[in-house]
Each structure stands twice: as C-alpha cells, then as structure tokens.
Amino acid sequence: MKVELINYTRDPEKIVAAAARLCYSQVGVSEILEHMTEEKTVSFINKLMDLGHMSPTEHVTFTFAIEGISRACSHQLVRHRIASYSQQSQRYVKEKQFDYIIPPSIKKREEAKQEFIRHMEEVQKFYNKLLEMGVHQEDARYVLPNACETKIIVTMNVRSLYNFFKHRCCMRAQWEIRELAIEMLKLVRGVAPNLFKNAGPSCLIGECPEGNMSCGMSENVREFFKSL
C-alpha cells in the first residue's frame, strides 16, 4: 500500500480559524487573516476541536494518491459520499497482468496462500482468453476479483475526514481500509496537527459506541492514536 498527500489547502489551520472567527466578528476576512497569528490560530483551533464545532473545517481539503489497495477496499472507501474520487478504470485499462492483494489471514496459511495464488492465475488466464475471443474488456472485467489491485485519487474536506477516521480507524473496521485510514491520518496530522488532534475512532475522545460488539481495547486504542 502506498499513500501520498499530494495537495491540500494552503495554511489549513489558519483558514479554518479565520472562517470560525468570522462568524463572531464585525471586521472583514482580510483584517481577520492579517491579525491571525500562529498563537491565535492554535488557540482558536484547539477551542473549535474541543467544542466539536466542525462547519468551518469544511473550507479545507486534502488530496491523497493511493495505490496498492484492493477493489474490496476501494468499494468501502467510495461509500464516503462527501468526497471526490478518480479511480483507475477496468473498462479502459486492460488487466492483462493484474496485481492483487492477499489478505493476512490467507497469507499466513501456506496452503491457503498457494490456492489463492493459483485461483488468481486461473482468473488471469480466463480474462485474457475472453479478450482473445473478442470479448470487450468492459465485459471481460466481470470475472476480475475483489482482490484486484487498484489506484485512486481522493479529495476530502476536514469534516468528511473526521467521519472517515471515526469509522475506519476503529478496531472493528476491515483490516485493509483501517490500514489505509491510519496512513491518511498520519499524513494530515503531519501538516495540520492541531486540526486533527481529535481525529480517529470514536473511543479516542469518548465512550465506545459499539456496545456488546466493542473490541474491549479502548485504552490501548487511545494510547496508539494519541501517539501516532
């Protein structure tokens, strides 16, 4: 898996702080930005995050380039609706030698791993055969597996990212999208640490909402994400 932060709103924390400050100010945006020092920015962001006042965070976006994830993972990713996606197409890009993701539970069992690889090779042969028979690649792709590797560019605003991290950083999230979410969280914290200080699974700043389905490791989870 390869995750890169390829673009984001310039001075993200200052923009969010200024947007929030405008709601309570008689002066204009230019004057607010002029007097928004780093110290004031951090103070205002910390207050916003602690209050959970998220609407100003919608003015800031982050764009990620993601490679080496499965179609199974990308199908979960695109369920987060307030975002923009550009994904490598199986309709227009021939998968004559597709890469694939092997889940850990299969990889650690040698017999299962070998059977999995054999099946991927059989699917590849069948896909190639369909193309040789004149079947359109948009139809041949129907035989391709969820394990098929894909590439995607994703843009989300901060509020959407908070929602994404809340659900996908949880220990009960599927392993691959959880790994992806953690990598994305590391990247955004690297450029906007105060803005994303409370980002992570629900139990990071409150009680676990999973009830009887809780992982039971909230304390360890909090420790992990606070030191991320």
Distance between CA 198 and CA 165 in Å, rounded? 10
Q: Read off the tokens for 41.
A: 């920015």
Q: Is 141 annotated in the active site? A: no
φ/ψ (deg, to 5) at 35: -100, 5
Residue with tokens 């990071």, as numbered in its chain: 204
Burial (Cβ within 10 Å: 0-12, 13-18, ≥19) of residue 127? buried
Indicate the SS3 state at residue 130: helix
81, 168, 172, 178: the active-site residue:
168
Indicate the SS3 state at residue 78: coil
Active site members: 168
